Structure 1
Amino acid sequence: MRSSTDIGFSTDVCIVGGCGRVGLPLGIALASRGLRVTLYDINAAAVETVNAGTLPFDEAGAASVLAEAVAAGRLRASTDPASVASAEHLVVVVGTPVDEHLNPDLGAVPRALDRCAEHLRDGQLVVLRSTVYPGVTALTEKLLSSKGLAVDVAFCPERIAEGKAMTELFELPQIVAARTPQALQRAEKLFRNLTDQIVPLEPEEAELAKLFTNTWRYIKFATANQFWMMANDFGLDFARIRHAITFDYPRAADLPMPGFAAGPCLFKDTMQLAAFNRNNFVLGHSAMLINEGLPLYLVSRLESRFDLSSMSVGILGMAFKGGSDDPRESLAYKLRKILLLKARETLCTDPYISDERFTPLDEVLERADLLVIASPHPEYRDLTTDKPLVDMWGLTGQGVLV
């Protein structure tokens, strides 16, 4: 293969799916280090917003860096698949969902590449950034080879937490995996623009490493939620118990508080790992039953204390986590569906998400007979109300007994 330096690329990096919550922070971070970045995305509205120097979603510390990079001409967005041809490095960041039967969608990455395959060029480095089912890197290598393309392929999974991208992209070690020494070296060189800490693996090792990471977090949340339910069922406050076992005791320091374990990654990746192991994953499936069943459990507890059919219930926070404007896979919506059947009236509010179905917080506090904090937004920490308040997160410091 000819060296990429002999081919003449006008752009350093093109990110496929580049205007989303993973691709855009990466593009901004690379542009902030002086690289020339193109964001290829099929979402025309997001492309227009980014080219205006504006974030299409909230991401702490990213807005001013984006505006500067666009103004300086180091970053631009495009809906044109031909834009991939100008870049030495192609980074693929697309959603990799499970279907309605909880089976992985193996075609998400190949479909994204197919949309721009005719514009790919020999000498490029194709980096898969999405969390993928084990074997998708090898599938991508075969796909590109079948098209007669002499390109390098690497898998370098993102590991940032939403809302912390602009610090974690520079501080966290980067896993880099490739089949050949050349591809590994090129991928390492690319990500050393962001961090000096590189962890090399084989592609299949890296694919499992990412799934293990998200599944471990999901299982930890399920453990806390199961403990919380046990304590509740015996009339005990899990927050007091947790404080006792974590206080100056490092071996229990990572026990989280209870709460809705949701979002676009943890549940989905746990199911991908289960499918990989021939659905022989009792621990993962148990975690899914606990976490996904939490809204039903919560409503059951409320029914034992209140006559919901005569009450207006206010749901505070609809994002999948505190301080976020992202509603994807939020269990607050499952809670809403259940309460629509049980309560006289259900009101929803969120300080970060615009939705015509939502009600302003002041009005919810006035009209509701019962309040439930479904997302631990910091705005609710000092909430003043004389209404019954359910706070399974322990956000208000009043305990978590329901």
Structure 2
Amino acid sequence: MLDAMERPGGFTALAGAPSDCDALARGFQNRTAKVAVMGLGHVGLPLALAVAGAGFATIGLDTDAEKIGRLAVGESPMRQISGEALRVVQRLGRFEVAVDCAGLAAADAILICVPTPLGRHREPDLACVEAAARQIARHLRPSQLIVLESTTYPGTSREVVLPILEATGLTCGRDFFFAYSPEREDPGNAEFRTAGIPKVVGGADAASLHVALALYGAVVDRTVPVDSLETAEAVKLTENVFRAVNIALVNELKLVYGAMGIDVWKVIEAAGTKPFGYMPFWPGPGLGGHCIPIDPFYLTWKARAHGVSTRFVELAGEINTAMPHYVLDRLVQALDAGQQRGLKGSRILVLGLGYKRNLDDVRESPALRLMELLEARGATASYFDPLVPCVPNLPEHPGLAGRSSIGWSAAALRAHDAALIATDHDAVDYAMLVAESRLVVDTRNVCARLGLTGASIVKA
């Protein structure tokens, strides 16, 4: 086992480590090293800006040429990242972007932040991770640190990525260094900046952990070292499975208490006053985003390979997946009770397409699923979202691609038989919505939060 020791000036060396280990770690601590970030999405771009903001020369790589073009001229492709924050590091000469991966050879650290979606049968799809690893392997040289940040199942780093890198003839821990550090971004949450979120880091070996901690220690306020790649991978899955299971619990409680005539939102709000042993989670129309609807399946898939069942996790998935159907049932009941009509031939306005409040990200958004279910039942579904003017081309929702948000007006609201609040963006006039709509089905409790009342409001 390698032992840490102190050197003059506060630098921590690693006894018995390769000769270039300390030099690389010192370059990170002194911020003289160059860092490359592969994948400039909702995780990679904030990370790249945090690295550049910490003083590193940073290059961001992405296969989306349009996105790279916008970034190159200082235009942010994401609402939650200001163009000014991007332009600040560009003016300082610390941040450049490219589609070509040739710049990887000049980087001292390469951070992989590419998507890890699910396949057709809800199995892990590591195509982007493997492609990134192969690109790195083409440019891999001694004295580089490679870190995977993409969320995945335990074993991916050691069993999938590391063999691709070592097929070059270079050996991890001797020629180059490899670590896993799970991303912890919460898009749209201004309370937690990237540099202020503790960074979990696991290394393939002691030398790899040493240099990875030196890099992240120069970027974030706190690093959290763990004993292996696999532990670090499991940390991220645990965090998101925890959220998925608890959201499923309150979604089920919504059904149970609803049948009893009890408002689940009032219950959760009151329970949240307990200062210990309780954490509030809130129900909704289903799960959205890239993490919570997907990550539990990575764990269940890997668990099956070890002959272990994940009944609790899978049940949570079933409950959350069923939520759009419950919302539709509530809508049907309300239409029948108030207007003596069914869904067929009805005009339904879905309010909010982003999967989360004040975010324009529609990945796995339950609103999209609701629109499909509405139209499958014969309704006409339109949507309003001030942040999503047009539905992007998503392979899982091909029939919705290209649709545009309606214009916001009293006449437009009156033209619909019901409005279904799927996402509670702040930039919406809910008082006007309630005043002009025949029926409002609220899946986010936003009307009650704003003190809006009326017979036309139904919680779902």
1:296 aligned partner: 325
Q: What's the offset of the Cα at 1:310?
A: 4.3
- Per the alignment, residue 169 of structure 1 pairs with 194
| 3-state SS of 2:50 partner | helix
Please provide the CA RMSD for this pair.
2.3
- What is the match of residue 374 of structure 1? 422
SS, match of residue 346 in structure 1:
strand
Match in the other structure for 1:22: 43
Are residue 393 (structure 1) and residue 418 (structure 2) matched?
A: no
Aligned-partner residue type, residue 292 of structure 1: T
Choose which of 22, 37, 51 in structure 1 pairs with 2:72: 51
Residue 97 of structure 1 aligns with an amino acid whose one-letter code is P
State whether residues 145 and 211 of structure 2, in contact with CA within 8 Å, keep that contact through their aligned partners in structure 1. Answer: yes
CA contact (8 A) 1:95 1:108 kept: yes
Aligned to 1:331: 366
Quote the offset at 1:166 in angstroms. 8.4
Give me the whole-angstrom Cα distance separating, in 1, the residues matched to 2:360 and 2:429.
17
Residue 243 (structure 2) pairs with residue 217 (structure 1) = yes
Deviation at 1:67, TM superposition (A): 0.8
Q: Which residue does 1:90 correspond to in 2?
A: 110
Pair 1:121-2:114 in alignment: no
Q: Which runs of 5+ in 2 are unaligned?
A: 1-17, 336-340, 391-401
2:229 paired residue number: 203
Name whichever of 265-274 and 62-71 sits farther off.
62-71
Cα distance in 2, alignment partners of residues 158 and 40 from structure 1: 17
Q: What amino acid sits opposite 1:14 in the alignment?
A: A
TM superposition score normalised by structure 1: 0.93
1:195 aligned counterpart, secondary structure = coil
Cα distance, 1:145 vs structure 2: 1.4
CA shift, 1:247, in A, is 3.1
Asked which structure has the greater CA Rg, the reply is 2
Of 265-274 and 165-174, the range deviating more from structure 2:
165-174
Moved over 6 A (4+): none
The one-letter amino acid paired with 1:339 is L
Which stretch shows the higher mean deviation, 331-340 or 279-288?
279-288
Superposed CA deviations along residues 250-288 of structure 1, whole A, max 9, x for unmatched, are 433323243432111112100011111117111111111
- When residues 302 and 142 of structure 1 are mapped into structure 2, their CA distance, relative to the original with a 3 A threshold, is same
TM, length-normalised to structure 2:
0.82
1:35-74 superposed matches below 5 A:
35-60=56-81, 62-74=82-94
Aligned to 2:252: 226
CA deviation map 1:170-196 (0-9, x unaligned): 222110100222211111111112223
How far off its partner does 1:341 sit? 2.6
Partner Cα distance (2:347, 2:261) in 1? 25
- Closer, same or farther: CA 291–361 of 1 in aligned 2, 3 Å: farther
Identity %: 28
Question: Does structure 1 residue 281 correspond to structure 2 residue 302?
Answer: no
Residue 231 of structure 1, CA deviation: 2.0
* Partner residue in 1 for 2:34: 12
Q: Which amino acid aligns with 1:225?
A: N
Deviations, residues 1-44 of structure 1 (Å, cap 9, x unaligned): 551648x9986100111x21111111111111111000111111
Q: Aligned to 1:352, which of 387, 393, 404?
A: 387
SS of residue matched to 2:294 = helix
Contact 2:271 2:280 in 1 (8 A): no
Matched residue, 1:361: 408
Amino acid at match of 2:445: G
Q: Which amino acid aligns with 1:395?
A: V
Q: Tell me whether 1:239 sits opposite 2:265 in the alignment.
A: yes
Change (3 A) 1:299 1:161: same
Look up the equivalent residue of 1:175 and give its one-letter code. V
Which amino acid letter does the alignment assign opposite residue 316 of structure 2? A
Deviation of the 1:89 alpha carbon: 0.4
What is the CA distance between 1:381 and its match in structure 2?
6.8
Q: Following TM superposition, by how much is the alpha carbon of 1:142 offset from its aligned partner in structure 2, in angstroms?
A: 2.3
Q: Does 2:204 align with 1:179? A: yes
1:383 corresponds to 2:431: yes
1:31 lines up with 2:89 in the alignment: no
